[in-house]
Amino acid sequence: MNGVKVIPRLLRLTPDYPFKARIVSLILSKEPERALNQLSSHYRVQAPNIKIGMPKGQTKRRGCYSASNRTIFLSHRDILYNPYILLHEFYHHLRSQGEKHRGTEKLANEFAREYLVEYQEALEHISEICSP
């Protein structure tokens, strides 16, 4: 979690909006399960399990992914609504299909950032339309 601005506004995007923007919108709208289900069908993988509470030895982190039980662990329930962390951990899930953890931290951050950028662009586009 570094270098990403906190998104100032929350907006519910319609299904016409690009996929990544809608996923972020769903997470911020407190529908992380729907977001994870849509992400999983988009990438044709099984949805990950979610557990609140970190495994032993990981308590200093806010999130982690365990490939052996296909589970995203989050330190606190509020992190379910943090698109950056959720998407970062989903990337590990995506890259762990059928094998060991392959995705690097850098790539997981890039994956999450792309979603946030598209969401930000959607917001900017909307504000353009709405200005007088």
Q: Among residues 20 and 88, whose Cβ is nearest to Zn ion? A: 88
Residue 86 in the binding site for Zn ion (CB under 5 A): no
* Interface with Zn ion in residues 105-124 (CB under 5 A): 105, 108
Residue 74 in the binding site for Zn ion (CB under 5 A): no
Query: Total residues at the site for Zn ion (CB under 5 A)?
Result: 2
Window contacting Zn ion (CB under 5 A); options: 36-44, 97-105, 112-120, 124-132: 97-105
Helix or strand holding residue 63 (H, E): strand 63-66
Which of 102, 75, 90, 106 has the alpha carbon at shortest distance from 20? Answer: 90
- Number of Cβ atoms within 10 Å of the Cβ of 81: 16
Helices (H), the chain: 19-28, 32-42, 83-95, 105-130
Which residues of the chain form contacts with Zn ion (CB under 5 A)? Answer: 105, 108
